[in-house]
Amino acid sequence: MDEATNDEVAAWLAKARRDLDSAERLLTGTPPYRDTATYHCQQAAEKALKALLTALAIPFPKTHDLTTLVGMLEERVQAADRWKEAAVVLTPYATLFRYPDACPEPSNDDAEEALSLATTLLMEIAKEIDS
């Protein structure tokens, strides 16, 4: 990977880690902001996937659909098959709770699941990029 690509990948990963850190802070605050936390979990996963796509020189569309991004990796990354469930769970959080007329706030269980899935996805993608 050339230096410019390496820098771009590092920037995507840094933003993903910041989103994940934001989600953790939002869930541990008083009161917890589960709606915003789940949004940041989706964002962390999206940015991690875009980091890997960038590292592999796979162009990707402007999208928040994690299933689309995972699908773009399936032929090149064996682990992508494991990421499908996380993509299905996390994708709706890009918009689901963002507006006043939206669904009620996610449950604690939903928010904890989102955090766990995003954390695992980010860790696995970081390893994939480093290998």
Rounded Cα distance between 123 and 61, Å, is: 23
Which DSSP string do the residues of 36-77 spell out, in sequence order? Answer: HHHHHHHHHHHHHHHHHHHHTT----S---HHHHHHHHTTT-
pLDDT at 1: 76
Q: For the chain, how many structural domains are there in total?
A: 1
pLDDT of residue 80: 95
Tell me, what's the pLDDT at 131? 78
Looking at residue 104, its pLDDT comes to: 79
pTM: 0.94
CATH of the domain at 38: 1.20.120.330
- Mean pLDDT, consecutive 10-residue segments, the chain of 131 residues? 94 98 97 95 98 97 97 95 96 85 84 98 96 78
What does the alpha-carbon distance between residue 128 and residue 97 come to, in Å, rounded to a whole number? 31
* Residue range of the domain that includes 53: 3-130
* Structure confidence at residue 98 (pLDDT): 77
Exposure of 2 by Cβ count < 10 A (0-12 exposed, 13-18 middle, 19+ buried)? Answer: exposed
